[in-house]
Structure 1
Amino acid sequence: MKSTCPNRPFASGMALVMLLATMPLGAFAQNAANLQDAPAADAAAKNPYAGQRAAIDAGRALFAADCAGCHGASAQGNGNVPALTTARVKQAPAGALFWFITHGSINNGMPAWSALPDIQRWQLVAYLQSSEAGAATVGAAQAAAPTAGDWPAPMPPFTDFRYEAPGKTRKITPADLPVPFATPSAGNAPQVVARPADAWPKAPPGFKVELFATGLHNPRLIRTAPNGDVFVAETHAGQLRILRGSTPDGHVKEMHVFATGLNEPFGIAFYPAGPNPQWIYVGNTDEVVRIPYRNGDVQARGKPEHIADLPHSHGGHSTRDVRFSLDGKRMYVSVGSASNVDDPDTTPGEKHRANILVFRPDGSDEQVFASGIRNPVGLAVDPKSGELWCSTNERDGLGDNLVPDYITHVQEGGFYGWPWWYIGAHQDPRHAGKHPELASKAIVPDVLLNPHNASLQLTFYDGEQFPADYRGDIFAAEHGSWNRSARVGYEVIRVPRHGGSRASGEYQDFLTGFVLPNGQAWGRPVGVTVAADGSLLVSDDGGQVVWRVSHAAR
């Protein structure tokens, strides 16, 4: 998860409350590992201002002034910041909320706020647990939006949304990295607004962008089936949706709900490889399941079958992607960390997390394929070489320009640094002196992206519609920052491979324009897939839509 909000000290303290949004109600006094040993006596404390009109009003004002930048004007959450309007927060013991605001989570970059007067901490608890939390209007969010003049120009080779432009090439190297804390760690969560009538994604010359599908429910990872149907994981809705066909004007012809009742589904894989798969594998947050499938099915033939348990907890990164080796003998599963920089040596909840796991297709023979990868959200297998690649969200809390997210081929048995090291032998100061023997083993990834880009799904372009020099290149969705003072990401990028099997370190902006000049975001790319006709489809969970990018010459 992300960390702090500079210049708004209490907002960074409030960010720790996001842990509570995903905790079961009974865990506050019982789950010491996840909740940092909140004493039962503290959890049992009653809010002396609960339900009082003056306290709720004061709490609302505090939240609007100091917390909305991270948690959204209506406490709805943004991207990696969970909502604070859930029943779990509203029904939690008031003393537990107060205790976490007071003590913080230092390892995750969220400081303690014991210096804040008790009455203000209780007022915030009163507001969060009232029926009024979540009632802020979009107009209020827009009124509070920052202006472009608030941000200094970025220091090259780093950038931000103001300088993103289709076709612009970028390259970041380890030598470009600043020292930790060169800038404060920001909390600048997007307040997603409706797309203005004159706003549209921008692509390089020769490409056309169309609104392919609308009315989706949190569309996340998106993959194309062998028969050309496009499957979308609607994660928060717990379901998979099918997009079938396209009209002459570039819109989807049919939409069907394929399966429901899933637990935060994300990864989708068809098995076995080839034109006639028999199963769809789904990466739920806590397990891999498979569903019987034949080409053309628009509804699941049967109930999901459990294949493998996955590490999970109430909190941390929930996405689990699933891919198969070209020979079909190995199943790769990505599992993100449960925290920002918690030490796995002392945090049992991090066991087998921040890893890419590998199984047999039946779920047996679980092993760690690669480790130290904080959140390998997207997986892809090179259709020619068979090498596994991943798209990674690196850690936060070290400043605007640390630590770069990355895209890389993944070495079996490789260690990529988290949490002790990053981008080779750069030690995280929050773990100073730990594991010096791992410094030389930390692998430098192939392509360093702007820090806090939130790089999600990636895919190899294997279509024939785009120009020939795009064949075999990588496209990746950059969901966008909230741990940076000026937004970055909110785009789709291209990683050119120049006809080879590896990347040379540079990447290009490809699809941009999802952020308005005042910094408000109206779209957030999540997934990318190549459609049967060779166009590129992009899911956008900010606008709840799927975009289609085609090459105009075709």
Structure 2
Amino acid sequence: MMRRVLIPTLLAMPLAATLLAQTLPAQTSTPKTGQSAFEDALEQKPGNRIHITVADLPTPHEDESVDNGPSLSPRDGAVPSVPAGYKVELYSEGEWQNPRLARTAPNGDIFVADSKAGKIYVLRGVGPDGKAQQKEVFASVEQFDNEKGKTLPFGINFYPAVNPKWVYVANTINVVKFPYKAGDLHSSGPAEIVVKELPGFAQLRGGGHWTRDVVFSKDGTRMFVSVGSRSNVDDTDNNPGEFHRADVLEYKPDGTFVKVYAYGIRNCVGEAINPISGDLWCSTNERDRLGNHLVPDYITHVQEGGFYGWPFYYMGGAKGGVQDPRHIGKHPELQSKVITPDVLVQPHMASLEMLFYPANEKGASAFPASIDGDIFAAEHGSWNRKNRAGYEVVHAFVHDGKATGEYEDFVTGFVTPDGKVWGRPVGVTVGKDGALYVVEDGANTIWRVTYTGNRQTASK
């Protein structure tokens, strides 16, 4: 049986940059497992299902470690690929330096952190050409730090969730908030410091992983801030620069520190709250230099008090965790505490922002009804792997509130058939219209993915 899927083209496209469907053989509906699950970027196609388990993980091969990062190529009119029944349009381009995380305000405005520019932008509306109708600077780094270039805004959130009065921004070194009311395109007052110094402030004002995300618990009483590690696998016992890093930290919304909520999470770049269960989730970059197929990045719910292995162990051992060969014999008491994440994705592909679809219990659902409650995550792309992986948006399946461990390639085509990379997905958000907005920082573009079929009759 044949089905229609969307494929990329390198030809110049109209302003709307709408990708037209072409007839191709159906993609696999049976998940790839075992060694075939470790696909590379040239094998990725919308609809390909993947299920990596701990049983598939090889032994460490440090000799496999390579530096194979992409050399970015011009987009030259290329557009992403999306599954049959979907349409992708270019929503925003130009005047971006490094667009990253995106979040949608309750009124439907899309806030985007342009990290290297030190700015928070607001995008509003969809014009006849598919582009944003307005783009305004909500706030800039000069408003909350006097050392531009060392404070990189990333995490954005709205508080309280209903009729928010504040926009919170998590930066490399601190968390600030701006006064806000629905519809504001520019901050209506100066930033107030919420958390004065995040871990890493004293060590070269950050160092290592620089992204910081911020989300609030479903009841609004807790604020979770993710702080990535300063290193790949430094021994935290001997490196004070790793203090309270590779952690998710819990604060009160007023900035009062409460505790380390979870630890051993090397770099929880993207946080999300499951809108039904209220669980905190993370999209995580795991460690490098253990081989092409180690260690998988992951998407997981985060257990309060949970230990996720870094740097001494990683998921998958019969006793709870596999010892990292660079830390043999250290902390045997932690081995049984290592938690295996819910969804293992390709190793080294740099899983960044994630979300639940729709974004909240009353959010607009325009995709197939079968997708409601599932996860989308941006995969920035690998560097420490012989055959590159990532450069896509994945769709992870959730059943009865629990991830199945399986995911599918959803938005691909950021890599040309000859292996050149033009796009690197970094952010995902759901608009008030139910569309999926995808931010990438290779060509510095934002794409809008919509569904054109009958959402009630479509199936997984």
Q: TM-score range by the shorter chain?
A: 0.7 to 0.9
1:544 corresponds in structure 2 to: 444
Deviations 1:89-128 (A, max 9, x none): xxxxxxxxxxxxxxxxxxxxxxxxxxxxxxxxxxxxxxxx
Code of the aligned partner of 2:208: G
Of residues 70, 79, 97 in structure 2, which corresponds to 1:217?
97
- In 1, Cα distance between the equivalents of 2:434 and 2:90? 16
**In structure 2, how many angstroms separate the alpha carbons of the residues matched to 1:324 and 1:409?**
15
- Summarize deviations over 1:301-321 as a string: whole Å, max 9, x none: 111111112112332000000
Per the alignment, residue 418 of structure 1 pairs with 310
Give the CA deviation at 1:183: 5.5
Establish whether residue 329 from structure 1 lines up as the match of residue 221 from structure 2.
yes
Partner of 1:458: 354
Whole-Å separation in 2 of the counterparts to 1:494 and 1:193: 26
Amino acid at match of 2:402: R
**Cα distance in 1 for residues equivalent to 2:136 and 2:129:** 20
Counterpart of 2:31 in structure 1 is: none
- Superposition deviation, residue 249 in structure 1: 3.0
Q: Is the 8 A contact 1:183 1:400 kept in 2?
A: no
351, 368, 381: which is aligned to 1:480?
A: 381
* TM-score for both structures, normalised by structure 2: 0.85
Counterpart in 2 of 1:396? 288
* Counterpart mapping for 1:154-165 below 5 A: 155-165=35-45
C-alpha displacement of 1:196: 2.6
CA deviations on 1:293-337 (whole Å, 9 max, x unpaired) are: 111111111111111121123320000000000110000000000
For the residues of structure 2 that align with 1:487 and 1:365, how far apart are their CA atoms?
40
Deviations 1:185-229 (A, max 9, x none): 0101111111133x2200110000000011122100000000000
The alignment status of 1:427 with 2:323, answered yes or no, reads yes
* Residue of structure 2 equivalent to 1:134: none
Maintained 8 Å contact 1:474/1:494: yes
In structure 1, C-alpha distance between the alignment counterparts of 2:192 and 2:116, rounded to whole Å: 20
- What percentage of aligned pairs have identical amino acids? 57
- Structure 1 residue 278 displacement after superposition: 0.2
Higher helix share: 1
Matched, 1:316 2:208: yes
- Structure with the bigger RCO (C-alpha within 8 Å, sep 6+) is 2
The equivalent position to 2:157 in structure 1, one of 269, 274, 277, is 269
Give the match for residue 134 of structure 2: 254
Q: Check whether the contact 1:329–1:361 (CA below 8 A) recurs between aligned residues.
A: yes
- Classify the secondary structure of the residue corresponding to 1:516: coil
Distance in 1 between the 2:298 and 2:217 partners? 22
Report the equivalent of 1:440: 336
Q: Is contact 2:87-2:451 (8 Å) kept?
A: yes
**C-alpha contact 2:70 2:421 (8 A) present in aligned 1:** yes
**Out of 228, 239, 249, which is 1:347 matched to?**
239
| Residue-by-residue CA offset, 1:150-183 (whole Å, 9 max, x unaligned) | xxxx942211011101011101111111110176
Off by >4 Å, runs of 4+ in structure 1: none
Which residue identity is paired with 1:433? G
Asked which structure has the greater CA Rg, the reply is: 1
What secondary structure sits across from 1:438 in the alignment? helix
CA distance in 1, matches of 2:343, 2:61: 23
> Would you say 1:287 and 2:166 are equivalent positions?
no
Instruction: Kindly indicate whether residue 266 of structure 2 is the aligned counterpart of residue 370 of structure 1.
Output: no
> Residues of 2 paired with 1:156 and 1:395: CA distance?
22
Q: Work out the CA distance in 1 between the residues paired with 2:245 and 2:419.
A: 34
CA deviations 1:370-420 (Å, max 9, x no partner) are 000000000000111100000000000001100000000000000000000
Q: Shift of residue 365 of structure 1?
A: 3.1
Secondary structure of the residue that 2:153 maps to in structure 1?
Answer: coil
CA distance in 1, matches of 2:157, 2:220: 11
Is this contact kept in 1: 2:284–2:297, CA < 8 A?
A: yes
Structure with bigger strand share is: 2
Cα distance in 1 for residues equivalent to 2:259 and 2:72 = 39
Q: Does 1:530 align with 2:427?
A: no
Q: Distance in 2 between matches of 1:196 and 1:297?
A: 35
**How many matched pairs?**
398
Output the CA distance in 2 between the equivalents of 1:338 and 1:186: 21
Letter in 1 for 2:152: E
- The 1-side partners of 2:406 and 2:82 are apart by 18
Q: Distance in 2 between matches of 1:497 and 1:517?
A: 31
Question: What amino acid sits opposite 2:125 in the alignment?
Answer: G
Q: 2:210–2:228: 8 Å Cα contact kept in structure 1?
A: yes
The answer as to whether partners of 2:247 and 2:263 remain within 8 angstroms in 1 is: yes
Amino acid at match of 1:550: T
Q: CA RMSD in A?
A: 1.2
- Amino acid paired to 1:496: F
- The one-letter code of the counterpart of 2:374 is D
Partner residue in 2 for 1:303: 190
Letter in 1 for 2:64: P
